[in-house]
Amino acid sequence: MRKVFYVLFVAAFAILIIGCDGDKNGKKPAPTAIEITAPKMEITVGEQLQLSSAVTPKNAENKAVWTSSDEEIIKIVNKDTGLVEGVAAGTAEVIVTSKADSKIQDRVEIKVNPIVYDAPESVTASVPRETVSIGSVMQITTSVFPATAEQKVEYKSSNPEVATVSATGLITGVALGETEITVTVVADKEIFASIRIYVISGSMNVEAVVIQGEAEMFEGGTLQLSASVLPAGVSQNVLWSSSDETVATVSDKGVVTALKQGSVTITATSVEDKTVSDSHVIVIKPEIPPVEYPNLGGYEIIMYASTGYEWEHDPFESDYKFADKVAKQRAWNDVKQLFNCDIKVEAYPEEAVWGEPRAEWLVQKAQTNEAEADIVVITGLWTKTLVEGNAIHDTLEWYNKYGKHKMPPAEKAAGTYRGGLYNLLYSATDGINVYYGIFYNYNLLDDYGLESPAKLFNDGRWSYSDFLDYVLQAQAQMPGKTVLSGKPVLYWAGMVNAGGVALADSLTLSINFNHSYAIAAAQVLRETYVNDCWGDQGWDHESTSFRDGNTLFSVGEFWFINSDIRWPADLWGDDTSFGFVPFPYPDNFDKESTRTVNLGGQYYGLGAGRNYPAGVTAEYIYWAWTETILLTEKYLSEDVTYDLDAAIRNEGLARFDDPDSAEALIFFKKDKVIFDPFTSLTSYVNISNDAIDPIINGGSDYSQMLTPFEPIYRNLLTDMYG
């Protein structure tokens, strides 16, 4: 006892010397004990309880993790805060463990009581409408009375060959006809209600085809066109043709190759309705003769990129992984000679913090004529701030002068603001076109014997219904794990875009929140939620259940994979393995019709507010950079060993361990890209928190939640593209 007292006295004296806030370096002392405080020791099934913990000494490191001895009785809603929920009747222990020392724990036993229900008296069932289209879905809403009765019901379709109904009341149209959906109260099967449902074709007539792309090109060059088929939601597949193949040819992907001078008409015809088409006249000019380039007097062109990602832009970096490395190195060296300049990629300074603070930093530097870089890697989320702050140049005039019309329509739209063009050529060649996607823990596929979702996509089995079936089946095979994580709004938007529909359509200036694909996507996601398929719903890398290896899927941007600041290559240890699968497409689609999206994400901007020496101008910097892209394309086209599919496959395998994921990437060439500025018009945090989360997680009325956001997005869309 005396020895224990002496140790405690020495420890207390040391703490007194160091100070109550930690040691002289500001480090908190290690905890010696931790204790749980519980407001009560009994809860009811479905009830949540907030527990708390306190450490000894009080100023010790207090971070802790919460676990349950039996997740089937008490589940941990938040393992960091101690929020728990009763799952089933019984008793289980909740354990809190210090993160500073796993040996320091406390535990408390909590009893979960069953819910006591009143006897049911009646049930009502309603649907938004009496009709559902083939391949579309519709949700039944039910209420058992009184409200204190158990609300569990069972659903049955009298004719499942016409329409099926899931265990949670999701009706799917299968074939033309009618059926009766019966809703039966589980607690008393003498109580039921019925609804008559009619399944209609639901086919939309093709109304128009609109070709987008440049109207001029040069002899010997190529040009990417795109076609939008209206109304939104019909098949976007078209047949391309040239009025004179001796002047120019057009591929099945809309790539025009100019063979000689002249004029040619390119036509895109709807595959669904060959009476509907659009024509686009292209004038082919003589190949531009060699020009005398300006002498920049050894000027160093500086590009700012995010710290640690300089290698993505500099072909001379040892970590540069892309297939154009040799061609790009040659192009950079040529431009350095032609313009008498240098090109250097540097990291943004520490004070230029990622996000809006970086945009504001660029504005402040430009407005004081203290800009530090000529080319800046930025994102479409900042376009409005940067343009209105005069921090980047409108390059439309220079693009028309030097760009050789090489910017694909979606890429050009991504850099457009109020008629100006603010992005530089990013790449003149095709390549990885996937910006957002669903990513998965490839290790878990092996652990639970699950089929590769990327293989399902490649095989043409990745519709909304296929996706729902996969998620529900995987959840049943993964006890203690979950299938989905991340923000529901990103799944929702990706699924709508997969149907070729832009939530914010810059072509028609329409907001498509009420499109049938958007409603169906929300209903499918709601179905996954009520079946307990979700883990953490944090943004990006904040989705802890995915990071901890407890969830199969998460959603994010392509560059997140193997990113030290998002999902590092050792996220789940040395054997970390990632996979990728595109977003599922609507049930009335097939794989060939699906699309991926350009959201106006990362792009190059020409920084304003730079103090150039004599003989150097912003226009010359633009010209020099554009030449690096055009020459890279030229050298790649001359390289007989270069194969686009192989290049995409290799780049995919550098990030993903599932070979089927790389094959899925290859599918999305530039002709399968649509532009949707949904996320770049404004921060989508509000629509996520105030509309999509309540719809998916809480079953809130879809129209009621989203209607207030429609005029906001419509005004922003019109302001930017009207």
3-state SS of 126-192 is ECCCCEEEECCEEECEEEEECCCECCCEEEEECCCCCEEECCCCEEEECCCEEEEEEEEECCCCCCE
Tell me the HSE value of 710 on the side-chain side, using a 13 A CA sphere. Answer: 12
Confidence of residue 309 (pLDDT cuts 50, 70, 90): confident
Question: Using an 8 Å Cβ cutoff, are 303 and 374 in contact?
Answer: yes
One fold for both 31-113 and 208-285?
yes
pLDDT beyond 70 at 532: yes
Contacts of 274 (CB under 8 A, 6+ apart): 239
The structure tokens listed for 21 are: 């806030």
pLDDT beyond 50 at 337: yes
- What is the residue-averaged pLDDT of the chain? 88
Q: What is the spatial distance between Cα 209 and Cα 514, in angstroms, rounded to a whole number?
A: 22
pLDDT beyond 80 at 308: yes
Question: Using an 8 Å Cβ cutoff, are 391 and 422 in contact?
Answer: no
pLDDT beyond 80 at 395: yes
Question: Using an 8 Å Cβ cutoff, are 60 and 30 in contact?
Answer: yes
DSSP bridge pairs for 112: 43, 90
Domain 31-113 carries which CATH code? 2.60.40.1080
Q: Smallest Cα–Cα separation from 295: which of 625, 616, 630, 628?
A: 616
Q: Smallest Cα–Cα separation from 655: which of 538, 542, 557, 513?
A: 557
pLDDT beyond 80 at 3: no
If you search the block for the tokens 């010359």, which residue do you land on?
620
At 233 the pLDDT is 78
State how far Cα 348 lies from the chain centre. Answer: 25
Question: Using an 8 Å Cβ cutoff, are 38 and 84 in contact?
Answer: no
Question: Using an 8 Å Cβ cutoff, are 595 and 674 in contact?
Answer: yes
Return left, alpha or beta for 540; rule: phi > 0 is left, psi -120 to 50 is alpha, else beta. Answer: left
Question: C-alpha distances in angstroms, 390 versus 387, 394, 419?
Answer: 5, 9, 15
DSSP states of 669-698 as a string?
A: -GGGEEE-THHHHS-SHHHIIIIIHHHHHH
What fold characterizes domain 299-431+600-642? D-Maltodextrin-Binding Protein; domain 2 (3.40.190)
At 716 the pLDDT is 87
At 508 the pLDDT is 83
Confidence of residue 113 (pLDDT cuts 50, 70, 90): very high
Domain 436-598+654-721 carries which CATH code? 3.40.190.10
Q: What is the spatial distance between Cα 491 and Cα 389, in angstroms, rounded to a whole number?
A: 33
At 169 the pLDDT is 85
What string of H, E and C letters represents the secondary structure of 532-588?
A: CCECCCCCHHHCHHHHCCCECEEEEEHHHECCCCCECCCCCCCCCCEEEECCCECCC
Q: Smallest Cα–Cα separation from 582: which of 408, 440, 379, 469?
A: 440
At 600 the pLDDT is 55
DSSP bridge pairs for 281: 265
If you search the block for the tokens 């990129």, which residue do you land on?
305
At 4 the pLDDT is 36
At 202 the pLDDT is 63
**Prediction pTM value:** 0.73
At 203 the pLDDT is 61
pLDDT beyond 90 at 514: no
At 20 the pLDDT is 43
At 184 the pLDDT is 96
If you search the block for the tokens 């040659």, which residue do you land on?
330
pLDDT beyond 70 at 238: yes
Confidence of residue 635 (pLDDT cuts 50, 70, 90): very high
Return left, alpha or beta for 609; rule: phi > 0 is left, psi -120 to 50 is alpha, else beta. Answer: left
At 10 the pLDDT is 37
At 115 the pLDDT is 86
Question: Using an 8 Å Cβ cutoff, are 421 and 412 in contact?
Answer: yes
Q: What is the spatial distance between Cα 291 and Cα 386, in angstroms, rounded to a whole number?
A: 33
pLDDT beyond 50 at 18: no
Q: Region 215-222: what's the mean pLDDT?
A: 87
pLDDT beyond 90 at 235: no
The structure tokens listed for 450 are: 């699950």
Q: What is the spatial distance between Cα 242 and Cα 249, in angstroms, rounded to a whole number?
A: 6
Confidence of residue 599 (pLDDT cuts 50, 70, 90): low
At 290 the pLDDT is 67
Q: Smallest Cα–Cα separation from 441: which of 546, 586, 332, 354?
A: 546
Is the CATH number 2.60.40.1080 carried by domain 122-200? yes
Phi then psi for 165, rounded to 5 degrees? -135, 130
Question: Using an 8 Å Cβ cutoff, are 185 and 145 in contact?
Answer: no
At 319 the pLDDT is 86
DSSP bridge pairs for 227: 211
DSSP E strands: which ranges in 295-392?
Answer: 299-305, 341-347, 375-379
Helix, strand and coil percent figures for the chain, each rounded to 5: 30, 30, 40
Domain ranges of the chain: 1-30, 31-113, 122-200, 208-285, 299-431+600-642, 436-598+654-721
pLDDT beyond 90 at 24: no
User: What sign results for the dihedral spanned by CA atoms 583, 587, 588, 590?
Assistant: positive
Q: Smallest Cα–Cα separation from 99: which of 82, 80, 83, 78?
A: 80
208: three-class secondary structure by DSSP: strand
At 26 the pLDDT is 58
Q: What is the spatial distance between Cα 601 and Cα 517, in angstroms, rounded to a whole number?
A: 23
pLDDT beyond 80 at 38: yes
Q: Region 179-190: what's the mean pLDDT?
A: 95
Q: Give percent of the chain with pLDDT exceeding 70.
A: 94
Question: Using an 8 Å Cβ cutoff, are 85 and 75 in contact?
Answer: yes
Q: What is the spatial distance between Cα 542 and Cα 438, in angstroms, rounded to a whole number?
A: 16
DSSP E strands: which ranges in 38-89?
Answer: 42-44, 48-50, 52-56, 64-68, 74-78, 83-86
The H helix count followed by the E strand count for the chain is 20, 40
What fold characterizes domain 208-285? Immunoglobulin-like (2.60.40)
pLDDT beyond 70 at 315: yes
Q: What is the spatial distance between Cα 638 and Cα 634, in angstroms, rounded to a whole number?
A: 6
pLDDT beyond 90 at 433: no
Instruction: Calculate ∠ Cα 712-713-715, nearest 5°.
Output: 70
Return left, alpha or beta for 369; rule: phi > 0 is left, psi -120 to 50 is alpha, else beta. Answer: left
Of the two residues 699 and 456, the one the predictor is more confident about is 456
At 606 the pLDDT is 96
Cβ–Cβ contacts within 10 Å for residue 139, how many? 21
Range with lowest mean pLDDT among 60-74, 561-575, 602-616, 670-684: 670-684
Q: What is the spatial distance between Cα 95 and Cα 105, in angstroms, rounded to a whole number?
A: 7
Rounded to a whole number, what is the largest CA-CA distance in the chain?
Answer: 102
Of the two residues 624 and 425, the one the predictor is more confident about is 624
Q: What is the spatial distance between Cα 454 and Cα 664, in angstroms, rounded to a whole number?
A: 6
Q: Which of 225-239, 451-465, 704-718 has the highest mean pLDDT?
A: 451-465
Cβ–Cβ contacts within 10 Å for residue 58, how many? 9
At 416 the pLDDT is 87
Question: Using an 8 Å Cβ cutoff, are 94 and 124 in contact?
Answer: no
